[in-house]
């Protein structure tokens, strides 16, 4: 549900095997606001709306759509942020192969050209590190062929 706004993004962009150009990337970034609009303003859906809207905000302020940082980001979104990165790294995409759990954990904990540990809430990162084996087990269980 966090990426429900991607229904507003053309399939040609979602499935593009290469790097998105600047205009495609700007359109892709709008999926967060689109998702929040789809979920709506009803208070019963506040958590879901916050997740859809803010799950690409980064703790260090380098995310989108608003460049929020630290405690400006709702806790539920900071949790989904690290889960979303884990899922993206573990999953095959048209533009990349799936990574192993070990490589994914290494990238989240140490960074690479796209991910920095400073992107994540320190308290959420602490929980991620503590439960990384259980996260792997859950991933393996939910992705059995």
For the chain, list residues with pLDDT below 50: none
Q: Structure tokens of 105?
A: 């954990």
pLDDT of residue 94: 84
Terminal C-alpha separation, the chain:
22
Q: Structure tokens of 36?
A: 């929040």
pLDDT of residue 95: 83
Q: Which domains does the chain have, with CATH numbers?
A: 4-142 (1.10.3210.10)
Could you tell me the sign of the dihedral formed by the alpha carbons of 76, 111, 85, 22, in that order? positive
Which residue has 């689109």 as its token pair? Answer: 34
Q: Following CA atoms 123, 38, 64, 61 in sequence, which dihedral angle do they give, to the nearest 10 degrees? A: -30
**Chain segment 37-60, per-residue pLDDT in tens:** 999 999 999 999 999 999 999 999
pLDDT of residue 145: 62
């Amino acid at each position: 549900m966090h990426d429900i706004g991607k229904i507003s993004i053309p399939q040609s962009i979602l499935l593009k095997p290469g790097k998105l150009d600047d205009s495609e990337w700007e359109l892709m970034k709008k999926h967060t606001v689109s998702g929040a609009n789809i979920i709506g303003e009803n208070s019963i859906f506040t958590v879901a709306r916050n997740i859809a809207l803010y799950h690409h905000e980064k703790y260090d302020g380098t995310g989108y759509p608003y460049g929020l940082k630290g405690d400006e980001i709702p806790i539920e979104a900071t949790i989904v942020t690290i889960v979303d990165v884990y899922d993206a790294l573990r999953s095959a995409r048209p533009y990349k192969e799936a990574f192993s759990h070990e490589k994914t954990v290494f990238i989240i904990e140490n960074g690479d050209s796209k991910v920095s540990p400073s992107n994540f809430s320190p308290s959420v990162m602490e929980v991620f590190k503590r439960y990384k084996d259980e996260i792997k087990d859950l991933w393996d269980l939910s992705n059995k062929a």
